[in-house]
Every structure is written in structure tokens, then in C-alpha cells.
Amino acid sequence: MPIYLNENDWSETEATIRISLRIPGVRTENLHLTQTDVYLKVSCPPYIYEILLEDKVGWRGRRNIYQGELEIILDKLERRKWGRPGTKVGKKEVEDVRRREEEKLRLFLNNQDKARIEERGEREKKCVGLTMEKEEGRREEIERRKVVAIAEVMHDEKDGRRRRNKYDLDFAGRIAHEREMDKEIAMVPPRTGGVIQVNLSKRTRLPARESRKAEEEEWMKKMEEGKLREGKEREDKEVDKTEILTFKQFNQKAVNFIQCGDLRSAESILTEGCEQFPSNLELVSNRTLVYLLLEEWEKCLQDSNLAISLLNPPVDENKERRVKILCRRAKALVALGRPEEGLQDLNLAHTILPLNSQIQTDRDNLKKMII
């Protein structure tokens, strides 16, 4: 059974009237508003509010919903104050008023639909007219271009005939001229041989050039030093296979190549050294560094495992070497997509050297990446 509401509050100006209704649980989804120029109905089941307005208003009202309160704002057609919003509709008058106002609303909406249909028809006619004008203009432009193209072709044909005639005359003249030139060339005797004497004067230094003499000498000195350094590096690379080197010599050559940035040569020297001295820790450790710089993670991981096996038993004398190898192996494991195993190596390195801040930082960053 519907519950009829009274307005909670209302106010007006000469141009608008505002009606406020307190409706429990009101939402946009369950609210239905029916309005004509003199009739207003608000339905939010089971609540209903109906009123015959004091005077005519515009058909497009505004509504706002805030914290269970509905506010309706209507625009007056005549600018004056009413003194009251309107007259409540009694139960006996409800059906007649509703039927009459709903019929008025239906007629209004039908008229609006007809107006929209007529407006849309006018727009379509206008669009068709514009399209036909464009098509007509396009056809005229095509015909104009055809006429211009035919005129250009006819002009080109006439001009081409004139050019061909002129070219034929010019060609015959060129042939005759070339024959005359050949005759003149045949009549010219060949030149005899001779000797050209060239005397070079002594180089003199101008004052401006003399002022840069020290800079030129310094530059020449640097060029000579560079050539000597390149020759030395070339000699180091071309190792004599018959020469028998100690592991220290292998290691020193590799260090020189690493400092020069030639990592491939360093790898080659260290590999040869490891073949002759497979249990030498320094050679294996340096090769892990080279593979780390070359980002060859699998080889770096293999050499790291070999180096850790050579560092047994773990004692205080080799703890720094063990930490260094563990950190390199951790980087290789992270690069190979095995961060959990890398974190284990960093935890072990932190246990050996707990005061090393770099190890602590790397371990914290890896933990964040894993999480």
C-alpha cells in the first residue's frame, strides 16, 4: 500500500521553486519522476508524493539526491512569487488528475518526437543536397581536367614534332662538326718530351706557427708513446707456444689484458694457464671475473664452483677470497634466473664478513626483488 509524503521543506524565488522531500532509501535506480507544466509526481516505492503546482513551470526540472533527501528544482514560466508550492491532490482526484496530466505528458512527448523526426528529415535532406552539389562539382572538375589534359597532349604533340625536326637538324650539324674536329686533331703534331725542374725552398716558421711548436712536439711524443704501447700489447697477445710460462706469468699477462679492456685475450691466457695449472686458485678466480665482465653466466658459475672447491678447508686466511667468489656466484645465479640460490650465497658471505656494507646492501635489494 503506498505511503503519501509531505514536503520536508520548500523555498522559491521569482524564477524557480525548490521542493525538498525526505525519502528513506532513495536512490536514482528506484526513483521515478513524472512532471508536466502544472503537475508533479514522485514515486519511490512504497512512497508517493503528488501535487498540483500553483502555476505553470517548465517541462525540464532538475533533481538532486543527498543523504536520503530528494531536492526538486523547477523553473517558473512567469516570474512571480506563489506563496505556496501548490495544492495537494486528494485520493478522489488522484485518478482524474493523473490520467489528465499523463495524457498531456504523452502528447508533449509525441510532439517532441515528431519535431525530432522532422528535424532529422530536414538534416538528411540538407545532407543529400550537399552531397549532390559536391558530386556535381566533382563531375565538373573531372570534365575540366579532361579538357586541360587533351589540350596539353595536343600541345605536346605539336611541340614534339618541332623538337624532332630541330633535333634532326642539330644531329646532322653535330656530325659535320665532329668530322671537322677529327680532321683538325689529326693535323696537330704530338708534343715532345721534357723535364720540369722543381726547387723547394727551406721551410720557414711563421710567428703564429712558432708559438705552437711546444704543442706539436708534445703531440708527436704522445703518438710515439702510443705506437710503443700498441707494439707491446701486440707482443703480449702473440705468445710463443714453445715458451713455458709459470702461473704467475700467466696471471700477470691476464691482468695486463684486463686493464687494457681486452677481455677475450685475458680469457684465452687464463684458459691456457688453467690447462697447465688446473688447481691454481688465482687463475681460476681471475677467470671468474673475466666471465662476469663478459656476462657469460654459465661459465662464471662453473668457475665459481671450482674456485670454492679449491678454497677448502675454509679458514680465516682465505675468508676474503671465499666472500669474493660467493658474491660473483650470486650475481651469476641471479642473472640465470635463480635468485633464491643467489640469496643463499649472499647470506653466507654476510655471515663470513658481517661488517661489509656492500654485501648487506646487495642482500637487501635481492630480498626485495624476490618478494
At residue 184, the pLDDT reads 65
- Strand (E) or helix (H) holding 305: helix 297-310
Mean pLDDT by 10 residues, the chain (371 residues): 76 89 83 82 84 82 83 89 78 66 75 81 83 85 82 72 58 68 64 72 56 72 74 58 68 86 88 88 90 91 91 85 91 90 90 89 86 70
> Hunting for cell 691476464 — which residue is that?
254
Q: Which residues contact 81 (CB under 8 A, 6 or more apart)?
A: 12, 13, 14
Domain extents in the chain: 3-89, 91-182, 244-370
CA 277, CA 272: separation in Å to the nearest integer?
9
CB-CB contact of 311 with 317 (8 Å): no
Q: Note the pTM of the prediction, 2 decimals.
A: 0.36
CB atoms within 10 A of CB 106: 10
CA 179, CA 99: separation in Å to the nearest integer?
115
Q: Is 216 exposed, middle or buried (0-12, 13-18, 19+ CB in 10 A)?
A: exposed
At residue 327, the pLDDT reads 92
Q: How many residues does the chain have?
A: 371
At residue 243, the pLDDT reads 47
What is the CATH number assigned to the segment(s) 3-89? 2.60.40.790
CA 315, CA 306: separation in Å to the nearest integer?
17
At residue 123, the pLDDT reads 85
Q: Is residue 16 helix, strand or coil?
A: strand
Please, what CATH class does the domain formed by 244-370 belong to?
mainly alpha
Q: What are the angstrom distances between the C-alpha of 63 and each of 27, 35, 52, 56, 98?
A: 12, 12, 18, 18, 21
At residue 186, the pLDDT reads 61
At residue 314, the pLDDT reads 82
Strands 39-44, 47-53: parallel, antiparallel or unpaired by DSSP? Answer: antiparallel
